[in-house]
Amino acid sequence: MFFDFDSVEYYSLNKSKEEEMGENNSKSIDNGIFDKIFFDDYPDKINNGIFYKTINSEGFSKFKLSQKDAEYLKSDIFLEKSSLKMLENVYACAPQYRDILVFKKKNQISGIAKICLSCRQFYLISSKKEIEIENFGTEKEFKLLGKLFDKYKKDKN
């Protein structure tokens, strides 16, 4: 597994915040930490208080995944696979990380997964020393994550 976890929090960037960031970006206004979260491979450590405070702000919706969905992620999505050898991916766009999963073990952060469903890119950071992510990110995995994310967003409305 990429992460050792017993619970998962899901954060989704609010449409209004994304639109505000787009307007500010077109006016060359820096959105600071929100831009780093949305566009960059950030944070570089799992225990980054500024990152965690920001995703718990008004700009994001927060959902606690059910135990069933957390187990599904553990057994079907976020595990190292050695049998796959993916082709080198060439991306046509820069990632926009609208979806973030925070993995916890005994209420301590053990990993973060930032996902861009539109261009199929991701950024993973784990408390484990080394994780093999080269075989993560199949088309099927992104579709399954998209369905899972939609389920929680629909429940909110």
Question: Nearest 5 degrees, angle CA 66-CA 2-CA 42?
Answer: 90
pTM: 0.86
* Side chain identity, residue 35: D
Condensed to tens digits (0 to 9), the pLDDT of residues 59-99 reads: 999 999 999 999 999 888 887 665 444 544 555 678 899 99
Q: Is the pLDDT of residue 14 over 70?
A: yes
What would the mean pLDDT of 15-19 be, rounded to a whole number?
Answer: 90
Q: Is the pLDDT of residue 148 over 80?
A: yes
d(CA 143, CA 122) in angstroms, rounded, equals 13
Condensed to tens digits (0 to 9), the pLDDT of residues 20-70 reads: 888 888 888 888 899 999 999 999 999 899 999 999 999 999 999 999 999
H/E stretch holding 111 reads strand 108-116
Q: Of 5, 35, 36, nearest to 126 (Cα)?
A: 5
Average pLDDT of the chain is: 86
What would the mean pLDDT of 122-150 be, rounded to a whole number?
Answer: 83
